[in-house]
Amino acid sequence: MGNMAKEAFAFLSSSRGILSLLTEMHICGDSDIPRSWLITGSGLCDEDALDSILIPDWRKHEYGWDRFGIDVPVKDGHPGTFVLSYLKNGLIPILVSRGRVHLNQVLHREQMLRLWLGVGFLLMGGGRYVISTQAVGGYGTEIEVGKIAIPTQLIGYHWPSSGYINVSTDGHPATESVFPHRESYVYRTLCASARYSGLDVCRKGLDLRYIPVVGPCFGGVAERDLFGNNCKCHTVGMSGKPEADGVAVENMTGNTDHPLTFVPIQVVSDNQDIPSDSEVVAEVRKKAPQVLQMVSFFLSEMEGNV
């Protein structure tokens, strides 16, 4: 276990009430936890969308960051909370940050990062799938509203010399060799899952839309040009400032034959700060059940094949 993981667990042990919350939900210590889990960022803050994908009593497990002594700056009109719940099938645990509290903000706030990673590790239950669904967010001419897209700013692969990913523009640049081949089994399964669920995989602009992270770490880059395509997306996944030496998240199973795979999936808008009554949000609400269906199908197809 890496130092970051150890610190996360140590923080959980001293954090007020978080372990009791997990125990209350029968997540912590449950031998029947699936080897898959799902984590979202701030995209699913709309209650109607959450109602369509989560078990009915999800509101009972919505908590403010301040409950754990963490002061979180959130924008007006956003709840600034997080939810510990399950998808509607009742099997896959989910951690949802509501409001404009992006994971890149979490990263640079030490207590939030430890809490987030610690809860995530416990939710994962020793598994190796991480799926991030972002309901709104992302902008740029290459993105089409309402289609499934993969945040192009997320990169990751095993970096044996250092154990983390340096995403600085002055360090190791993001090149096409970083990304896996688009005809890989995982990519094809993702596309098949989208088609099965009646969703379109966005192909406009940068064609490569599936970026799995194979190895013990993952990272992201904020607004950058990729391959000269001017793909500028705000960071919606875990990211690392170069001066912070990135973030190392090790496969908690310790099984190097089955490394952690990070699968970011996004139902995109054309702007990250759109009004809640906009047509884009209405589209997100409509698409949410299809995203759930896509994720469930993807997990069932992937189990035992990666």
Per-residue pLDDT of the chain (306 residues; tens, 9 = 90+): 344 444 444 555 555 455 555 555 544 444 444 444 455 554 455 677 678 777 888 888 787 777 666 666 665 556 677 777 777 766 666 777 676 555 445 544 545 555 555 555 555 444 444 555 443 333 333 334 444 443 333 332 222 222 223 333 333 333 222 233 344 555 566 667 767 777 655 443 222 232 322 222 223 332 232 222 333 222 223 332 222 222 222 222 233 333 334 444 544 443 444 455 556 556 656 666 776 676 667 666 665 554
Phi, psi of 62 (to 5 degrees): -110, 130
Q: What is the pLDDT of residue 235?
A: 27
Q: What is the pLDDT of residue 166?
A: 31
155, 215 Cβ separation under 8 angstroms: no
Q: What is the pLDDT of residue 239?
A: 30
Supply the range of the domain harboring residue 130: 3-302
User: Which of 34, 18, 137 has the alpha carbon at shortest distance from 82?
Assistant: 18
Per-position DSSP letters for the chain, written without gaps between them: --HHHHHHHHHHHHSSSHHHHHHHTT-TT-TT--SEEEEE-SS---HHHHHHHB-TTGGGGEEEGGGGT------TT---EEEEEEBTTS-SEEEEEESS--HHHHHTSHHHHHHHHHHHHHHHTT--EEEEEESS---STT--TTSEE--TTEE-B--TTTSS----TTSS---GGGSPPTTSHHHHHHHHHHHHTT-PBP-SSS------EESSB-EE-SS--STTS-------S----GGGT--B---TT--TTS--EEEEEEE--S-TT--TTSHHHHHHHHHHHHHHHHHHHHHHHHTTT-
What pTM value is reported for the model? 0.50
Q: What is the pLDDT of residue 21?
A: 55
Q: What is the pLDDT of residue 192?
A: 72
Instruction: Classify burial at 25, counting beta carbons within 10 Å of its beta carbon; exposed 0-12, middle 13-18, buried 19 or more.
Output: middle
For residue 95, what is the domain's CATH number? 3.40.50
Phi, psi of 94 (to 5 degrees): -140, 140
Q: What is the pLDDT of residue 196?
A: 75
* Total structural domains within the chain: 1
